[in-house]
Amino acid sequence: MTVASKITLTRIFLVPVFAVLAIYYGVSVEEGHPEEWLRGWALAVFIIASASDGLDGWVARRFNQQSRFGATIDPIADKSLLMTAIIVLSLVEWGPDGWRIPLWFSALVIVRDCLILGGVAVLHFINHHVPIRPHWTGKVCTFTQMFALGWVMLRVIPIDPIYPCIVAAVFTVWSGYAYLREAHHQLRDSPHVKPGSHP
Protein backbone atom coordinates (compact mmCIF):
# COMPACT_ATOMS: atom_id res chain seq x y z
CA MET A 1 0.00 0.00 0.00
CA THR A 2 1.33 3.43 -0.94
CA VAL A 3 2.00 6.26 1.52
CA ALA A 4 -0.70 8.32 -0.18
CA SER A 5 -3.28 5.56 0.39
CA LYS A 6 -2.22 5.25 4.03
CA ILE A 7 -2.84 8.97 4.49
CA THR A 8 -6.29 8.58 2.95
CA LEU A 9 -7.09 5.64 5.23
CA THR A 10 -5.97 7.68 8.21
CA ARG A 11 -8.53 10.32 7.20
CA ILE A 12 -11.23 7.63 7.23
CA PHE A 13 -10.14 6.46 10.69
CA LEU A 14 -10.29 10.06 11.98
CA VAL A 15 -13.96 10.40 11.00
CA PRO A 16 -15.38 8.41 13.97
CA VAL A 17 -12.89 10.13 16.29
CA PHE A 18 -14.25 13.51 15.25
CA ALA A 19 -17.84 12.26 15.57
CA VAL A 20 -17.34 11.04 19.14
CA LEU A 21 -15.62 14.26 20.24
CA ALA A 22 -18.29 16.41 18.56
CA ILE A 23 -21.16 14.46 20.10
CA TYR A 24 -19.69 14.55 23.61
CA TYR A 25 -19.09 18.29 23.28
CA GLY A 26 -22.68 18.77 22.13
CA VAL A 27 -23.93 16.78 25.11
CA SER A 28 -21.89 18.95 27.47
CA VAL A 29 -23.42 22.07 25.86
CA GLU A 30 -26.95 20.74 26.28
CA GLU A 31 -26.18 19.90 29.94
CA GLY A 32 -25.17 23.51 30.55
CA HIS A 33 -21.43 23.04 31.16
CA PRO A 34 -19.59 23.08 27.80
CA GLU A 35 -16.32 21.18 27.82
CA GLU A 36 -14.31 23.47 25.56
CA TRP A 37 -11.38 21.07 25.41
CA LEU A 38 -13.67 18.64 23.59
CA ARG A 39 -14.53 21.32 21.03
CA GLY A 40 -10.83 22.11 20.62
CA TRP A 41 -9.94 18.47 19.98
CA ALA A 42 -12.89 17.98 17.63
CA LEU A 43 -11.79 21.04 15.65
CA ALA A 44 -8.18 19.82 15.57
CA VAL A 45 -9.18 16.37 14.32
CA PHE A 46 -11.47 17.86 11.67
CA ILE A 47 -8.76 20.26 10.45
CA ILE A 48 -6.14 17.50 10.31
CA ALA A 49 -8.49 15.21 8.43
CA SER A 50 -9.43 17.99 5.98
CA ALA A 51 -5.78 18.93 5.42
CA SER A 52 -4.88 15.32 4.69
CA ASP A 53 -7.10 15.52 1.61
CA GLY A 54 -4.60 17.81 -0.08
CA LEU A 55 -1.63 15.98 1.38
CA ASP A 56 -2.46 12.54 0.00
CA GLY A 57 -3.04 14.01 -3.46
CA TRP A 58 0.29 15.86 -3.36
CA VAL A 59 2.16 12.75 -2.21
CA ALA A 60 0.51 10.65 -4.93
CA ARG A 61 1.54 13.12 -7.65
CA ARG A 62 4.96 13.99 -6.28
CA PHE A 63 6.10 10.40 -5.76
CA ASN A 64 4.09 8.81 -8.58
CA GLN A 65 1.89 6.83 -6.20
CA GLN A 66 -1.40 7.07 -8.10
CA SER A 67 -3.32 3.85 -7.76
CA ARG A 68 -6.80 2.52 -8.48
CA PHE A 69 -7.26 1.80 -4.78
CA GLY A 70 -6.32 5.35 -3.86
CA ALA A 71 -8.60 6.82 -6.51
CA THR A 72 -11.46 4.74 -5.10
CA ILE A 73 -11.06 5.44 -1.39
CA ASP A 74 -10.17 9.15 -1.68
CA PRO A 75 -13.70 10.36 -2.56
CA ILE A 76 -15.12 7.93 0.01
CA ALA A 77 -12.90 9.47 2.68
CA ASP A 78 -13.84 13.01 1.64
CA LYS A 79 -17.56 12.33 1.59
CA SER A 80 -17.43 10.38 4.87
CA LEU A 81 -15.83 13.30 6.69
CA LEU A 82 -18.16 15.92 5.23
CA MET A 83 -21.37 13.92 5.69
CA THR A 84 -20.47 12.84 9.22
CA ALA A 85 -19.76 16.42 10.26
CA ILE A 86 -23.00 17.72 8.74
CA ILE A 87 -25.12 14.98 10.32
CA VAL A 88 -23.47 15.17 13.76
CA LEU A 89 -23.65 18.96 13.92
CA SER A 90 -27.34 18.82 13.02
CA LEU A 91 -28.08 16.40 15.86
CA VAL A 92 -26.24 18.18 18.69
CA GLU A 93 -25.98 21.85 19.62
CA TRP A 94 -22.59 23.52 19.59
CA GLY A 95 -23.77 26.67 21.28
CA PRO A 96 -26.78 28.34 22.90
CA ASP A 97 -30.12 28.98 21.21
CA GLY A 98 -29.96 26.19 18.63
CA TRP A 99 -26.42 26.83 17.38
CA ARG A 100 -26.19 23.89 14.99
CA ILE A 101 -26.62 22.80 11.39
CA PRO A 102 -30.37 22.83 10.60
CA LEU A 103 -31.89 19.36 10.21
CA TRP A 104 -33.46 20.32 6.88
CA PHE A 105 -30.00 21.10 5.49
CA SER A 106 -28.64 17.74 6.62
CA ALA A 107 -31.61 16.00 4.98
CA LEU A 108 -31.08 17.99 1.77
CA VAL A 109 -27.43 16.96 1.54
CA ILE A 110 -28.31 13.30 2.14
CA VAL A 111 -31.05 13.30 -0.51
CA ARG A 112 -28.79 15.04 -3.04
CA ASP A 113 -25.97 12.53 -2.55
CA CYS A 114 -28.35 9.56 -2.68
CA LEU A 115 -29.79 10.80 -5.98
CA ILE A 116 -26.31 11.23 -7.43
CA LEU A 117 -25.25 7.77 -6.26
CA GLY A 118 -28.42 6.32 -7.73
CA GLY A 119 -27.70 8.00 -11.06
CA VAL A 120 -24.13 6.70 -11.04
CA ALA A 121 -25.38 3.18 -10.29
CA VAL A 122 -27.84 3.30 -13.21
CA LEU A 123 -25.17 4.59 -15.59
CA HIS A 124 -22.71 1.94 -14.45
CA PHE A 125 -25.32 -0.79 -14.92
CA ILE A 126 -26.14 0.39 -18.45
CA ASN A 127 -22.83 1.73 -19.76
CA HIS A 128 -20.42 -0.26 -17.53
CA HIS A 129 -18.49 2.98 -16.93
CA VAL A 130 -19.34 6.42 -15.58
CA PRO A 131 -17.28 9.22 -17.18
CA ILE A 132 -18.83 12.01 -15.08
CA ARG A 133 -16.62 15.08 -15.14
CA PRO A 134 -16.39 17.36 -12.08
CA HIS A 135 -18.64 20.40 -12.39
CA TRP A 136 -17.78 23.80 -10.95
CA THR A 137 -21.00 23.84 -8.95
CA GLY A 138 -19.87 20.67 -7.19
CA LYS A 139 -16.67 22.36 -6.03
CA VAL A 140 -18.56 25.45 -4.87
CA CYS A 141 -21.08 23.17 -3.14
CA THR A 142 -18.30 21.46 -1.16
CA PHE A 143 -16.72 24.82 -0.28
CA THR A 144 -19.99 26.32 0.97
CA GLN A 145 -20.80 23.20 2.98
CA MET A 146 -17.36 23.32 4.61
CA PHE A 147 -17.86 27.05 5.24
CA ALA A 148 -21.16 26.34 7.01
CA LEU A 149 -19.47 23.69 9.15
CA GLY A 150 -16.67 26.10 10.03
CA TRP A 151 -19.26 28.74 10.93
CA VAL A 152 -20.84 26.38 13.45
CA MET A 153 -17.63 24.91 14.87
CA LEU A 154 -15.60 28.12 15.18
CA ARG A 155 -18.43 30.36 16.47
CA VAL A 156 -16.47 33.49 15.53
CA ILE A 157 -19.44 35.60 14.38
CA PRO A 158 -22.65 35.45 16.45
CA ILE A 159 -24.97 35.23 13.45
CA ASP A 160 -27.37 32.29 13.10
CA PRO A 161 -25.83 29.38 11.12
CA ILE A 162 -28.98 29.19 9.02
CA TYR A 163 -27.64 31.94 6.73
CA PRO A 164 -24.47 30.16 5.52
CA CYS A 165 -26.56 26.98 5.33
CA ILE A 166 -29.03 28.69 2.99
CA VAL A 167 -26.16 29.67 0.69
CA ALA A 168 -24.78 26.12 0.82
CA ALA A 169 -28.27 24.74 0.17
CA VAL A 170 -28.55 26.74 -3.06
CA PHE A 171 -25.34 25.23 -4.43
CA THR A 172 -26.22 21.78 -3.07
CA VAL A 173 -29.41 21.77 -5.15
CA TRP A 174 -27.72 23.42 -8.13
CA SER A 175 -24.82 20.95 -8.23
CA GLY A 176 -27.18 18.01 -7.77
CA TYR A 177 -29.22 19.18 -10.73
CA ALA A 178 -26.07 19.67 -12.83
CA TYR A 179 -24.82 16.13 -12.14
CA LEU A 180 -28.21 14.54 -12.73
CA ARG A 181 -28.56 16.44 -16.00
CA GLU A 182 -25.15 15.16 -17.09
CA ALA A 183 -26.20 11.62 -16.15
CA HIS A 184 -29.41 12.04 -18.18
CA HIS A 185 -27.43 13.18 -21.23
CA GLN A 186 -25.12 10.18 -20.97
CA LEU A 187 -28.08 7.84 -20.58
CA ARG A 188 -29.81 9.39 -23.58
CA ASP A 189 -26.70 9.05 -25.75
CA SER A 190 -25.81 5.56 -24.53
CA PRO A 191 -25.40 2.95 -27.31
CA HIS A 192 -26.85 0.39 -24.88
CA VAL A 193 -30.23 2.14 -24.79
CA LYS A 194 -32.58 1.28 -27.64
CA PRO A 195 -33.59 4.22 -29.87
CA GLY A 196 -36.85 5.71 -28.70
CA SER A 197 -36.68 4.01 -25.28
CA HIS A 198 -35.03 6.95 -23.50
CA PRO A 199 -36.87 10.10 -22.42
Q: Taking the chain (199 residues) in consecutive chunks of 10 residues, what is each chunk's mean pLDDT? A: 88 96 95 94 95 86 80 86 96 90 96 85 69 77 94 92 96 90 72 51
Structural domains of the chain in order of their starting residue, each with its CATH number: 1-91 (1.20.120.1760), 101-199 (no CATH)
CA dihedral (2, 84, 14, 143) positive or negative: positive
| CA separation for the pair 52, 7 (Å, rounded) | 7
At residue 197, the pLDDT reads: 46
Contact between 153 and 39 (Cβ < 8 Å): yes
Task: Specify the long-range contacts of residues 110-113, CB closer than 8 Å, at least 24 apart.
Answer: 110/83, 112/172, 112/173, 112/175, 112/176, 113/79, 113/83
83-137 pLDDT, tens digit per residue, is: 999 999 999 999 888 899 999 999 999 999 898 888 777 776 776 666 666 678 8
89: CB partners within 8 A, 6+ apart: 22, 26, 100, 101, 149, 152, 153
Which pLDDT score is estimated for 46? 95
* Residue-level pLDDT at 131: 62
